[in-house]
Chain A
Amino acid sequence: MMLKLGVFELTDCGGCALNILFLYEKLFDLLEFYEIKEFHMASSFKEHDTLDVALVTGTVSTQRDLNLLHYARNHSKYLIALGTCATHGDVQASVEGKIREKLEKVYGTKANPMRALDSTPIVQHVAVDYALPGCPYDKDEIYQILMNLAKGVEPPTKDYPVCIECKLNEYECVLIKRGTPCLGPITLGGCNAVCIKSKVGCIGCRGPLPKEANPAGEFEILKELGYGEEYIRRKFKTFARGELRW
């Protein structure tokens, strides 16, 4: 039996929905198991029905986002928070200040005609069955997760830092060898250390590594390298506002 899939986009850059289209031929493999009932970026087709799997991307930044999120939750058996906006809030949630002040700075008015809200990750609003971070997430990972679900297997969760994949690729450590700020030691792995491949530091786009992370240690290393406390603080909070404490 075909599973019913919906893709719901709240406020974001569009990348998490787009990344599904970047699966190319693997997308057609997925379509052997899934029937797409809602995916507004890719299709004008829409069928209101109970879904087996809902993928929700983006942050809750408007009342409409919140309504759509509740709709997705109430109409799906299994809901995946897809991408760092959905799981941690990403860069747009890291903008500091109250929504009214921000609206005034950008639009020249405090008026809130369309009910803008401070951006928050969807995990703060509804229970999710699986959270896949990444800005963007690794597209092979979502492919694997959807395949697992189609076969009735609960997908595994990753729990190791970016450094593990960096070492496996035998990249030179940019933090220790070059003094480049790299958040690899405290960031959840799964990206295959793609930024260190470009010889630049990890910017933390998959959010903090749960449990074992040592942000205080990372903070001290960066301070010793000569980076200011404010600089480090903002760097830590870029993708996951308020989650790292030291």
Chain B
Amino acid sequence: MVSIEIDAFTRVEGNGGAEVIIENGEVKDVKVKIFEGPRFFELLTLGRYYWDVPDLEARICAICYLSHSVASVLGIERAFGVKVSKEIELLRELGLLGELLESNALHLYLLVAPDLFGYSDAIRMATKHGEIVKEGLAIKAFGNYIREIIGGREIHGINVKPGGFGRYPTVEELERMERQSEALLRLARRGVGIFAGQEALGAKPVHYIAVNGYLYGDKLIASDKDTFDYFEHIEEKALSYSFAKQSRYKGEIFMVGALPRVLLKSEMLTPMAKHLYEEYKEKLAQGYVSLNNLAQAIELVYALERTKEITRELLDKGIDGENVPIEPQEGEGIGYVEAPRGVLIHHYKIDEKGNIAYSNIITPTAFNHAIMELSLYEEAKRRYGTSDESTFLQKLEETVRAFDPCISCSVHVVRL
């Protein structure tokens, strides 16, 4: 028995690697090892006053901190039975759209594009393809602008609060978002063409899972048409070789992320995004996990169009800036959010004083851990013996990268 090690995945967030086990000249198994240290966020929040919790949870991940803030706030509000205004809902959605723009653009243009053009990174790629890198950076910077306004900071802002916001955006800020989203649409549309060219890699998941709303909701949906709460059908287990756990849906491997979102929720897409979805429908339906990149590119178009719709609606109506008052009471609540890389769950039980008594967080990369391993296995099987070692390893890395894994997020999942 021999094994080929990928010491550390590069151009991904956090620290992880893989081991490909070869026996009698055949690929026998692949293990995805997450060696980022455990971070114990569930323990960190235990006993803490609800008001401070979203700010702590934001620090699980920098790329998608706002998804964590919103998921946390939703879980807390549901535990207290709080209902917020349409305005607050739209502003939260706007923040999540900013995060989708920032994260998808970062992933596609800085991490994936160098693979398509044959470079080790975007900085080196920029010498010949500067325009593409700059277009990606422009979209990413705009996403970050939205995160700064809605979230309070580009990274780890503390403006998203239970019951509303610390500070509400001004008319000028909303107008700037509306203008910029319009201006960037052309670039995002061009990006879809670039990322549609990537070859098929990895496995085809048996199931796709997403949240029932496009970016947040109150239940999960699956490709077998079931609508459910996560604990009804999803099981997690710990592994001996990784700090991240693995999950199964009704006993089977599934995928979360951009590809599941566009496939399960195509009817919610905005006009131009829907048109692009129709154009690539057959390709997307092939189901290979690498198509996640194409789905992310279509989502950039969606996020820009939807940002325009929301800012216009808010500008027409005017901002009230009213928070909903909260009286802490004993309760239990789950926040379901689509972080850029897939379903994110924050589940809390809160005591009558407003302190957290139980906390469970499941992140997209933990959900995708099993399908990621299967994808590497299938890709390795297809390529072993037919391509040289550097191509072999490069294609395995590309396969992992398609999940846009967020390893830092994945390492603090509590036992169910």
Does A106 contact B42, Cβ atoms closer than 8 Å?
Answer: yes
Chain A residue at minimum C-beta to C-beta distance from B36: A11
Q: Which secondary structure characterizes the binding site on chain A? A: mixed
A148 lies within 8 A of chain B by Cβ: no
A246 lies within 8 A of chain B by Cβ: no
Q: How close is B5's CB to chain A, nearest CB, in angstroms? A: 14
List CB contacts (< 8 Å) of A90-113 with chain B: 90-92, 94-97, 102-103, 105-109, 111, 113
B240 lies within 8 A of chain A by Cβ: yes
Binds B, one of A72-80, A152-160, A194-202, A210-218: A194-202
Does B120 contact A44, Cβ atoms closer than 8 Å?
Answer: yes
A195 and B152 in contact (CB under 8 A), knowing A14-B14, A40-B10? Answer: yes
List CB contacts (< 8 Å) of A118-137 with chain B: 119, 135-136
B269 lies within 8 A of chain A by Cβ: no
Q: Which chain B positions have C-beta within 8 A of A95?
A: 39-40, 43-44
B167 lies within 8 A of chain A by Cβ: yes
Q: Which chain B positions have C-beta within 8 A of A12?
A: 408
B233 lies within 8 A of chain A by Cβ: no
Q: Which chain B positions have C-beta within 8 A of A13?
A: 59-62, 65, 156, 408
Q: Which chain A positions have C-beta within 8 A of B167?
A: 197-199
Q: Which chain B positions have C-beta within 8 A of A62?
A: 35-37
Q: Which chain B positions have C-beta within 8 A of A136?
A: 62, 153, 155-156
Query: Could you say which of A24, A109, A113, A197 contacts B152, with CB atoms under 8 Å apart?
Result: A197
Does A106 contact B52, Cβ atoms closer than 8 Å?
Answer: no
Does B38 contact A198, Cβ atoms closer than 8 Å?
Answer: no
Query: Could you say which of A22, A65, A107 contacts B144, with CB atoms under 8 Å apart?
Result: A22
The number of chain A residues with a CB under 8 A from chain B is 64
Chain B interface residue number, banded: 35 or more
Does A106 contact B240, Cβ atoms closer than 8 Å?
Answer: no
List CB contacts (< 8 Å) of A27-42 with chain B: 27, 31, 36, 39-42
B55 lies within 8 A of chain A by Cβ: yes
Per-residue CB contact flags for chain B residues 48-84 toward chain A (1 = under 8 Å, else 0) read 1100100110011111010000000000000000000
**Max chain A CB contacts within 10 Å: which of B56, B63, B123, B152?**
B123
Which residues of B are in contact with A by a Cβ distance under 8 Å? 8, 10-15, 35-44, 47-49, 52, 55-56, 59-63, 65, 106, 110-111, 114, 120-124, 137, 141, 144, 152-159, 161, 165-167, 238, 240-243, 245, 397, 406, 408, 412-415
Beyond A13-B59, A107-B238, list 4 extra A-B contacts (CB 8 Å).
Answer: A14-B406, A16-B62, A106-B38, A106-B412
Closest 7 CB pairs between A and B? A61-B37, A15-B62, A43-B121, A11-B37, A198-B166, A45-B120, A198-B152
